Amino acid sequence: MSPSPTTDRPTRAIRRRRLLRQLVVAGIVGLLLVSAPWLWTVVAAHGHRYDETGAPRADVVIVLGTEVLADGRPSVRLAGRLATAAELVHSGRARVVLVSGDGNGVSGDEPVAMTRHLTGALGVDPERIVGDPAGLDTYDSCVRARDVYGVRRALIVTQSYHLSRAVTLCRTVGMDVDGVAARCAGCGTGLLAGKAVRDYLAAPKAAWDAVLARPPAVHSPATPALQDALRGN
């Protein structure tokens, strides 16, 4: 005997609710899986993030490069990173600055622009600055700071949306690193939101690089430049 339309309606409703629950659970599981690399960076960096005034001391502060303007000046974000690093030096929390970026970047030579701004507008002694022109991404900057420049303990400066990933990558490759959130005067809400989304999407690559211990894109022999700068300052 076939079910009547009136008894079949509750059955269909139950099936729809069950399917909806399954879809919701699948969505939550999928979101957690996709978010796992980003959560890894947040958890691993916990306790190692500071603002400018609360930063601990370290001999070296690493500044990560980013966009340079057409006239050679640093962009708003890069200027904020440099201003924060300069304050760390002037306040005695750091002795030497390692500016790490792309020397052949699409927007220009990042380490040269960074050095020029630090020495010109921010009054940092050029003897306290060492440039790495092959810090092509965050992971490369960390590995090269360790292998090429001999850094074992450092502060690292970048904007807050990028800070957990930077700290986590540097600590994963074996450095004792604390992050300092950079200034970003003039950074609009839209810009910061967009960069935060970009950083979220970059987390899987960061995790993949760390798991594989990927060598940096540019191999360079070790140099005493940073150690020489420390001895002189």
Question: 193 in a domain, yes or no?
Answer: yes
Helix (H, G, I), strand (E, B) or coil at 1: coil
**What pLDDT, on the 0 to 100 scale, is given for residue 161?**
96
Question: 192 in a domain, yes or no?
Answer: yes
Rounded distance between C-alpha atoms, residue 36 and residue 154, angstroms: 27
**What pLDDT, on the 0 to 100 scale, is given for residue 15?**
73
Nearest Cα residue to 162 out of 41, 50, 31, 56: 41
Evaluate whether 108 touches 72 at the Cβ level (below 8 Å). Answer: yes
Question: 44 in a domain, yes or no?
Answer: no
Range of the domain at 160: 49-226
Token pair 């980013």 is found at 66
| Paired tokens of 28 | 């939550």
| Length of the chain (residues) | 233
Helix 189-212 with 5-45: angle, nearest 10 deg: 80
- Low pLDDT (below 50) residues in the chain: 1
Name the pTM for this structure.
0.87
H helices present in the chain, as ranges: 5-45, 76-90, 110-120, 138-147, 160-172, 189-212, 225-232
Q: How many domains are there within the chain?
A: 1
Token pair 């729809």 is found at 16
**What pLDDT, on the 0 to 100 scale, is given for residue 14?**
72
Token pair 């629950």 is found at 21
Helix (H, G, I), strand (E, B) or coil at 186: coil
Question: 136 in a domain, yes or no?
Answer: yes
Question: 10 in a domain, yes or no?
Answer: no
| Per-residue pLDDT reduced to its tens digit, 117-141 | 999 999 999 999 999 999 999 999 9
Question: 167 in a domain, yes or no?
Answer: yes
Beta strand 60-64 pairing with 96-100: parallel
| Paired tokens of 191 | 């810009």
**What pLDDT, on the 0 to 100 scale, is given for residue 1?**
47
Give the list of residues 6+ apart from residue 12 with CB closer than 8 angstroms, or none. none
| CATH code of 98's domain | 3.40.50.620
Rounded distance between C-alpha atoms, residue 30 and residue 7, angstroms: 35
